Structure 1
């Protein structure tokens, strides 16, 4: 083999390696983006479940206290806004839900019979479980997005991501008032 053939073979091998690296990096970025989207959807589902539980709690409280129709309207509005909400919107809805839950609990605490109601107790325990589920989804989402964003910040995957139109994603932030779980006990 002459020198020209060796050089051409080396160039061909280098091109094949670069193409393989490009597709490998592209696939990893897409995989991370899809995993992040799936986890965000799971967080939305958990938040909808929490709204359902809050609505059940409202129904239980309504039998003991005159409860505002405004509360049910708020729940319906929050449920509608969860559909395609991104991280920032989910953070806002989550904060509203926690405030609403706190108000419901405050009203319910005025009725001792309500505190011991089995329906209310079961619903409150379900809300606690859903809070834990939401926290797990947030943690998983933020870890996935951290890896995705890091790949988009580092060379050479940064250029691969830009060349195919990928951009960084937002984290699910924990605002100060969200760091505390809503109090879901009667005493």
Structure 2
């Protein structure tokens, strides 16, 4: 009878351990997949912003000369945003904000351009996309915080590492990235 009790307890401990292992593994996988999906949504929003910037350049170019380099830079950034990791997304964000800042500076010098319905509409779209990017970054960083916390705590750390998982990088920002471009005139 004592052997049966010991075997039963060992089987229960084993089953609980297996259940815990798989539920922790599934939670880590779920968080990782959610982070990847949110990062993809961030990439899509950044591509939309680059598309809007290109349309703004087209709308503004009759008032100011934009170098061929500006168009090539936008095309290059758009091509790279789809496969960019978190580090590359930071660089693309800084560069696209710089181009947008130049467009805004040009538009400020031309009152007729500031009141153009096309330009005003595009600037509103850029503002909306900026807000969308901020929401995606916020969501991504929250998911990564939970994921990385699980990867830092025991026993989920061992479960994650045994499955080949590692901590993920946050979408953190430098001071120049935190300055949201002013996209309205008023």
Shorter-chain TM-score bucket reads over 0.9
Q: Give runs of aligned pairs for residues 77-88 of structure 1, distance below 5 A.
A: 77-88=76-87
Q: For residue 9 of structure 1, what is the aligned residue in structure 2? A: 8
* Bigger shift: residues 27-36 or 68-77: 68-77
User: Which whole-Å CA distance do the structure 1 matches of 2:147 and 2:93 have between them?
Assistant: 24
Contact 2:38/2:136 (<8 A) preserved: yes
Contact 2:44/2:82 (<8 A) preserved: no
Report deviation, 1:178. 1.2
User: Which whole-Å CA distance do the structure 2 matches of 1:165 and 1:106 have between them?
Assistant: 48
User: Aligned residues, how many?
Assistant: 186
Residue ranges of structure 2 left out of the alignment (5+ in a row)? none
Q: Deviations over 1:79-133 (max 9, x none)?
A: 1111211111101100111011001111222221111000000000000010000
User: Which whole-Å CA distance do the structure 2 matches of 1:128 and 1:171 have between them?
Assistant: 23
Q: For residue 134 of structure 2, what is the aligned residue in structure 1? A: 135
2:62 is aligned with 1:63: yes
Report deviation, 1:63. 2.3
Q: Deviations over 1:137-156 (max 9, x none)?
A: 00000000000000000000
Q: For residue 102 of structure 2, what is the aligned residue in structure 1? A: 103
Q: SS of 2:64's equivalent?
A: coil
Q: For residue 30 of structure 2, what is the aligned residue in structure 1? A: 31
Q: SS of 1:167's equivalent?
A: coil
Runs of 4+ with >4 A deviation: none
- Normalising by the residue count of structure 1, what TM-score does the alignment of the two structures yield? 0.97
Q: For residue 75 of structure 1, what is the aligned residue in structure 2? A: 74
